[in-house]
Amino acid sequence: VEAEVFWRFRAGTRVVVFYQDDTVWHERYILAPGHRAETYWIVTPDDDVYEEDLQGRSPDGPSRVREVPPGIRTLPNLRTSVYRFREAMTDANLKAKVKVALREHEETYGSIASLADFEVDLPSGGTVGKTHRGTRGLQPSPGERSDLEMSWCLRLGQTSSSEPQMAHSCETAAGFGVSLSQTIRDAWIQERIISLTSVGPLPTAPADILGIPADTTAIEADDQGAILDKEKGKEEGQTGGDNDARTLWVEYDEQGERHREWRKVVADCVVHSWKDWPHEGPPSLQFALKQFGKIGGDPRLWFQLWLRRHHLAETDRTAHEVRTLIEALYLGGVYDQLNLPALAAFEAIGRRLQTITEAYAASPGNAPEWHHARLFTGVSSPDEIVPQELRAWAAKRGKDEVELIQARSKIKEVRKLLASGESTGSAAEDALPGPPGGKGGNRGGRPRKTLEPGIMKTTDGPSPGGRGMGPDARPRGGIFPLPLLQVEARRLGLSRRCAQRQGRRINHIRDANEAIEALNWMAGASVVGDVFRPSCRQQEVLDRVEAACKDALSLPEGVTAPIPQEAAFQELLRGASVYEAAGTTLAPFKLERVSLPDSVHDCPQVADLLPGHARQYLEVPERMMRQDIESVCDVEPYWDPALRSSTKQYKGLIEKLHSIGYLNYTLRPRARAGMFFVKKSDGVRQRLIIDARRANALLAQPPPVRLRTPEAFARFEFNYSSDDLRQAMPGIVGLSSWACPTSKMHFTACDSPGGCRSCSVWIRYRRTGLDCKVRSSMALPLRQTS
């Protein structure tokens, strides 16, 4: 009884203390009883160990002391923050600090005999000391609670008076003071001894025995016992009160208002696994709450960052919806102080917010994509009456049926190949000579079928005109049709790497056959190419096709992976849109980068290069014009911004074109045109482009041109008269049947007759100060420019 009254806290107990000259609570761990009444050895979050008076009214100690029961992180109604330990205390750390406290106590007071029997409550739930209870989980408060309705304690160490009516001061465990006479005090001690020695509980309340009408409204409830009972009920699955899993301990700011910092909301929130959780998929709100703190600090700041990220205005409908959801999450954690991840309503709010965020993140700069909204929100549609197990079973069954159909189709293909192989073998046997000694011109063997003149035997039957061919024959005359390459038959039982190499070879041969079939089709061959022995010229073509297929699979320097199909398609379409559209190779004008010839004064005349039927259009330019002159094109020519706005740069370009003989001048232009520049293949040089859409609208439809087939180009054969020409065309080989002149050809720089220059493209003119000659029938125009 003396030890219980002398030391109110057990070693290992966690308490929070408040000092009169401070604004926050401080967390402490009791290590051992001190030398005097209500003094204890404690350890602080700063790892300091010293002795302190914890009776609550000492001028050298804290003004208020409250015990924190095991399993409770923060006491309710503290109304301010707590300076606590960074990490939870472990059994090993607590034992080490207790040893330090005992050593300090022995060095200070010389003996620890009075501390030999005390016990230490460990954070894990056990105890160490003279007796080992070996309990786990939540520990009871120091000393079992009495069966009395209220616990009373007397202050020991005071001098007892011999006068019966002398009043003695005593107080309740809650700090409520009363006065008892000596007689009443002796009676209370007697009953208290009976209760503690387990002789039997008192039949009635101590107030009835002592004859004192206790004022129950003035005595506070035992906070420690009430919290312990609630915590035990929570462990047993009961919810309600301040320990509900759906709520947090209520905290207050310096003005006494309900407020909890957002980082503390995230730190105190925990996820609970409810058996009847209404949402599908994993809980996601806890992750979103953490991301709010990492990215923006709290949900409101994150909302402002998200609006700027997607260029949304404050008045946008989506912005109003997201702001409402953010406010619900923010107030639920900061003011209501709820355990947000454990509430299904806030999980629904979080999933709606995540759905909007994912829709805008999936298509930056475009309209949001909502194809995952149904999965995020978990909203069911009327079509979802099929269970997931049935869908999985049907998908597996359909896959098996598809594999069966593919296997049957492969068997059919193999049978066709075997049948064609037998027919090819029989045809080859017919072509072989018979054994010697046979009768007739056949000289033995199978009898040959006599074909009519001009008919050759093929695997598909005779073909008139000599275009067909046998298995070992080649077409008569020309290169086309080209024979196909023999596809290697797949072998079974190979290792994984051997099978991969065989697959690559087969794919390579198939690619080459596709190219050969395309060449045959372009050549206009009436017979589809088959597998037969090629001629020498055909073999050269086949070798080039195979080499080209291999080169197509090799990656350029600096490229580590093949270009995706979408990227390749975009590259092909690059620059094909309108001039001012995005994604083109449009380049700003730089005169030193414009790719121009040194001079075009000596370029040949177009009339000298064209045949007679084409020269008539140059001699009479009106033949190229439309008959309906009334149709006027309303296209505005595009000009480079630098040339349009800078007279100096425009003058420099005109002087450059004039110096190389690129310009002619007239007084009566038929149409206006613009000039701009695009990047060349090296990305540095620029190509001059004339926007001649208005002039093209005045010209009639040109006559059709019949292009040559690949067979015509395949017949080109060159004689290399110099090493320069050989290096310029290294891939063209053959014999001499068409000689290529070594002189430089100017097909891209030709001069047109003067009569059709007025039908050509004309750029606008500014006064540049050039000394230019004008033909007698023309005059130089001075066009007003804006």
Nearest-CA neighbor of 154 among 132, 128, 131, 173? 173
- Pairing mode of beta strands 25-33, 82-83: parallel
Across 180-218, b (16+ Cβ under 10 Å) vs e yields bbbebbebbeebbeeeeeeeeebeeebbeebebebeeee
Question: Per-residue pLDDT tens for 345-365?
Answer: 999 999 889 889 888 887 776
Span 124-130, average pLDDT: 74
Element (H, E) at 587: strand 586-587
More confident residue, 409 or 153: 409
Find out whether the peptide bond into 481 is cis, omega within 30 degrees of 0.
Answer: yes
- Distance set, CA 220 to CA 18, 175, 225 (Å): 20, 8, 12
Kindly report, residue by residue over 602-629, the tens digit of the pLDDT: 888 887 888 877 777 777 777 788 776 5
511 closest CA partner among 485, 530, 491, 481: 485
- Pull the structure tokens for residue 438: 């046979």
Rounded to 5°, the CA angle 457-459-460 comes to 95
The answer to whether residues 50 and 101 touch, using CB atoms and an 8 Å cutoff, is: no
253 or 71, greater pLDDT: 253
pLDDT at residue 155 is higher than 60 = no
Residue 331 has pLDDT above 70, yes or no: yes
Cα 626 to Cα 630: distance, rounded to the nearest angstrom: 10
Q: Would you call 45 helix, strand, or coil by DSSP? A: coil
Q: What is the pLDDT of residue 56?
A: 77
Predicted pLDDT at 381: 63
CA dist 510 and 545 (Å) reads 12
In whole angstroms, how far apart are CA 108 and each of 53, 117, 176, 693?
16, 19, 35, 104
On the question of pLDDT at 309 being above 50, the answer is yes
| Least confident residue range of 222-236, 545-559, 770-784 | 770-784
What is the Cα 119 distance to its own chain's centre? 57
pLDDT per position as a tens digit, 176-229: 444 455 566 666 676 666 666 544 444 444 445 445 444 444 334 444 444 444
Asked whether the beta carbons of 692 and 761 are under 8 A apart, the reply is yes
Q: Can you tell me the distance from the alpha carbon of 248 to that of 337, in angstroms, rounded to the nearest whole number? A: 6
Element (H, E) at 455: strand 455-456
How far, in Å, CA of 550 to CA of 538, rounded?
A: 19
Between the alpha carbon of residue 655 and those of residues 29, 659, 749, 762, 770, the distances in Å are: 92, 6, 19, 16, 7
> If pLDDT is split at 50, 70 and 90, which confidence band does 729 have?
low
pLDDT at residue 631 in the model: 56
C-alpha torsion angle, residues 177, 180, 184, 189 (rounded to 10): 50
The per-residue pLDDT for range 631-680, each reduced to its tens digit, is 567 788 888 999 989 989 999 999 999 899 888 888 878 788 889 999 98
Q: What CA–CA distance (Å, rounded) separates 564 from 591?
A: 36
3 state DSSP class of 82 = strand
From the number of C-beta atoms within 10 Å of its C-beta (0-12, 13-18, 19+), residue 382 rates as: exposed
Concatenating the DSSP letter of every residue in 40-107 gives EEEE-TT--EEEEE-SS--TTS-SEEEEE-TT-SS-TT--S-EE--SSPPPHHHHHHHHHHHHHHHHH
Residue 352 parent element (H or E): helix 344-362
Strand partners, 456: 463
pLDDT at 600: 86
Burial zone of 129 (CB within 10 Å; 0-12 exposed, 13-18 middle, 19+ buried): middle
The neighbouring-strand residues paired with 247 are: 338
Q: Taking residues 549-556, report their average pLDDT.
A: 81
Cα–Cα distances in angstroms (integers) from residue 523 to residues 119, 310, 486, 511, 539, in the given order: 103, 55, 21, 19, 17
State mean pLDDT over 246-260.
87
Separation CA 59–CA 666 (nearest Å): 109
pLDDT value at residue 705: 63
CA distance 784 to 786: 7
Rounded to an integer, what distance in angstroms lies between the CA atom of residue 184 and that of residue 190? 10
Each residue's pLDDT tens digit, 511-531: 999 999 888 888 777 555 577
Between residues 577 and 569, which one has the greater pLDDT? 569
* pLDDT value, residue 329: 92
Rounded CA separation 244/238 (Å): 8
**pLDDT recorded at residue 543:** 92
Residue 514's contacts (CB-CB under 8 Å, 6 or more residues apart) are none
Which residue is it, tokens 């007698």? Answer: 776
Asked whether 487 and 510 are in contact (CB, 8 A), the reply is yes
Nearest C-alpha neighbor of 318 from the set 347, 268, 351, 353: 353
In this predicted model, what pLDDT tens digit does every residue of 406-430 receive, in sequence order?
A: 888 888 877 777 666 555 554 444 4
Mean pLDDT of 440-446: 43
Comparing 428 with 337, the larger pLDDT belongs to 337
Q: At what angle do helices 317-334 and 299-309 cross, to 10 degrees?
A: 160
H or E segment and range at residue 17: strand 14-18
Highest mean pLDDT among 336-340, 390-394, 435-439: 336-340
Tell me the HSE value of 58 on the side-chain side, using a 13 A CA sphere: 13
Q: State the average pLDDT for the chain.
A: 71
**Model pLDDT, residue 725:** 56
What the block records as the tokens of 510 is 């198939």
Share of residues in the chain with pLDDT > 70 (%) = 60
Beta bridge partner(s), residue 117 = none
For 161, the 3-state DSSP assignment is coil
The residues facing 699 across adjacent strands are 625
The pLDDT of residue 618 is 78
Of all helices (H) and strands (E), which one includes residue 168?
strand 168-172
Residue 697 has pLDDT above 70, yes or no: yes
Indicate the range of 232-236, 387-391, 588-592 predicted with least confidence: 232-236
Please check the confidence at residue 133 and state whether its pLDDT lies above 50. Answer: no
Residue 779 has a pLDDT of 33
- Count the residues in the chain: 786
Within 8 A by CB and 6+ apart from 152, the residues are: 170, 172, 173, 188, 192, 206
Q: Is the model's pLDDT at 111 over the cut of 60?
A: yes
Structure tokens at 485: 């390459």
Give the model confidence (pLDDT) of 458-482 as tens digits.
Answer: 333 433 333 334 444 445 557 888 8
| Residue 468: both structure tokens together | 């067909």
pLDDT at position 688 is 92
Q: What is the pTM of this model?
A: 0.28
pLDDT by residue (tens digit) across 75-84? Answer: 878 888 899 8
Higher per-residue pLDDT: 160 or 691:
691
Judged by DSSP in three states, 625 sits in strand
pLDDT for 328 beyond 90: yes
Q: Amino acid letter at 17? A: V
Q: What is the pLDDT of residue 72?
A: 81
Alpha-carbon dihedral sign for residues 367, 373, 375, 380 = negative
- According to DSSP, the β-strands at 39-43 and 49-53 are antiparallel
